[in-house]
């Protein structure tokens, strides 16, 4: 339904309804294959922390969760009993 609405909108805006692309998209079978060369590389590490992105993300999420809990605690204490 959304795709047909987009097609109608584009047709009204530009005056034609043929939006074929010349790009050869890979087949679903090719898309589902895992590239072994890409998976073999280790994720890059930062020069400053020597940690990869996933480790830094997890650390950030832990700290952000702690911060949100502390902010909620402070807000509750300011409200009083």
C-alpha–C-alpha distance, residues 70 and 81, integer Å: 18
pLDDT of residue 75: 93
C-alpha–C-alpha distance, residues 61 and 54, integer Å: 11
Q: Domains in the chain: how many in total?
A: 1
pLDDT digits (tens, 9 = 90+) for 34-47: 665 555 566 778 77
pLDDT digits (tens, 9 = 90+) for 65-80: 999 999 999 999 998 7
The pTM for the full model equals 0.44
Mean pLDDT of the chain: 83
Only one residue has tokens 């009993």, namely: 81
C-alpha–C-alpha distance, residues 17 and 65, integer Å: 49
- Give the number of other CB atoms < 10 A from CB of residue 27: 9
pLDDT of residue 47: 79
Contacts of 56 (CB under 8 A, 6+ apart): 46, 49
Host domain of residue 28: 2-79
């Amino acid at each position: 339904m959304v795709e047909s609405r987009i097609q109608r909108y584009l047709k009204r805006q530009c005056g034609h309804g043929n939006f074929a692309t010349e790009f050869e998209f890979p087949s679903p079978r090719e898309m589902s294959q895992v590239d072994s060369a890409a998976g073999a590389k280790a994720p890059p590490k930062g020069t400053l922390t020597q940690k990869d992105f996933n480790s830094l993300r997890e650390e950030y999420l832990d700290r952000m969760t702690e911060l949100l809990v502390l902010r909620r605690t402070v807000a509750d204490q300011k409200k009083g009993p």
